[in-house]
Structures are given as C-alpha cells and as structure tokens.
Amino acid sequence: MVYIAAMPFAHGVSFLTEEESVVEMIGKYFFHHSSPGRGSTSARRGSVESCDERDGNCSLIDEQRLLFQDLTRRIECCLTEAKLSVLCCQVLQLPRNMITRVGHHILHSSADEPCGLRGASIRLYVEGKDYLKYVGTIIPDPDVTPTFELSVVFKVDKEDGWHIFDSGKVLKLRPEHRLVKRKLYSSESPVIYEFS
C-alpha cells in the first residue's frame, strides 16, 4: 500500500510518494531539511541518541546516567579515603573496571525498588581472611528516605592480600564481590548476590 501525503505548496497542493513523505518526516524531526521548490522547514536538530522531549525518557535516562556516574565516583572516593585510615595501606589495587561493574550491579538490584537507586542506602565493606572492615556509606539522593539497604563487600586478594613494594603497603582486591540487599519496609530476609 502506498501512502501519499499532501503538503502545502505555494499555489496549491503538492503530492509526495511514500518514500518522499518518510524522508520529509525524518528531515523535519532530526535535521534542518530543505527540499527544492518547497522552501526550508524549521525543525530541531538531533542525532541517533536523541529522545523526544514530549515523553520523559530523556530526562529519566539522563537522571540515571548522572546518578550512576555520581555513584561510581563516590565509591571510588570512599575506597580512597579508607586507604590510609581503615585499610592501613598506601596503595589499593582494584581489578580493571571493577567500580563500574559494581555500579551496574547496584543499579540492577535497585531497579525493582519504588524509588530505584535514589531510594538506596549503600554501605561499603572490605573483607579479608579474618576481618570485615566498614569503609563508608553512600546515600545517592539525600532528599529521598531510603527504602532499601545494599551492602557491597569487596574481597581481599590472596590469603592476606598484602604486598610490600618500594611504594609501601599495597592491598589488592579480587574481582569477586558480594551484594547484600535488605528491604527497609519489609520483613523479608536479606538477599545475597555473589559476583565473580
């Protein structure tokens, strides 16, 4: 079936084929498009990553992206601040992209919550052979009362995890980590996720 769209023209109506109509529509939506003989149409410029401002998807995607970036930055800050004080090391070695992976796991586990990541209270720990050390808490949105608590447990590499180099004491973490999720508005038992 061929659809024909009527377009206003200077002295009447101009008929477009289906292909021309689609091209015209795409041009209006994404680009500043001008067709010969029709004058230029005013339209917003965009890209493949553009969203329609009329629906809330753009702002929701942007908000989640910004929350995620802030979350990973704050995890890194907590671990950095804990190096000298709680963990007693000069260097803390993490596997490549570990903070990003942990951030994604946190986002995924908060997806089914009423306020999503904004309703989380995130506690960070480092677990060694005979100890569990608290290194900090992250509240993604202080204006939202937390509805669930996530405990992120980083694990020390090797038996003791300590290595001595010229730069001083180095603590190395394994890629494996644990998330413990506890809903604050429910009597359900905590859920434990192990990631490798």
Q: What is the mean pLDDT of residues 4-23?
A: 45
**Which tokens in the block code for residue 75?**
């995890």
Contact 192, 153 (CB under 8 A): no
Report CA torsion sign: 154, 159, 160, 162: negative
Q: Which domains does the chain have, with CATH numbers?
A: 61-195 (3.90.470.40)
Count of CB atoms situated within 10 Å of the CB of 12: 7
Least confident of 10-14, 115-119, 190-194: 10-14
Count of CB atoms situated within 10 Å of the CB of 152: 23
38-42, 176-180, 184-188: which has the highest mean pLDDT? 176-180
The confidence score (pLDDT) of residue 169 equals: 83
Cα distance between residue 148 and residue 144, in whole Å: 11
Provide, rounded to the nearest whole percent, the portion of the chain with pLDDT above 70. 64
Cα distance between residue 21 and residue 33, in whole Å: 12
Report CA torsion sign: 138, 141, 145, 146: negative
Categorize the per-residue pLDDT at 129 as very low, low, confident or very high, splitting at 50, 70 and 90. Answer: confident
To the question of pTM greater than 0.85 for the whole model, the response is: no
- Tokens 């989640």 belong to 64
The confidence score (pLDDT) of residue 185 equals: 86
34-43, 148-157, 184-193: which has the highest mean pLDDT? 148-157
Residue 3 has pLDDT above 60, yes or no: no
Categorize the per-residue pLDDT at 168 as very low, low, confident or very high, splitting at 50, 70 and 90. Answer: low
155-161-163 Cα angle (round to 5): 145
What would the pLDDT profile of 19-70 be if each residue is shown by its tens digit? 444 445 444 434 443 444 444 443 333 333 444 444 555 565 777 788 889 9
The confidence score (pLDDT) of residue 163 equals: 53
Cα distance between residue 153 and residue 146, in whole Å: 19
Contact 109, 181 (CB under 8 A): yes
Cα distance between residue 94 and residue 82, in whole Å: 14
Categorize the per-residue pLDDT at 84 as very low, low, confident or very high, splitting at 50, 70 and 90. Answer: confident
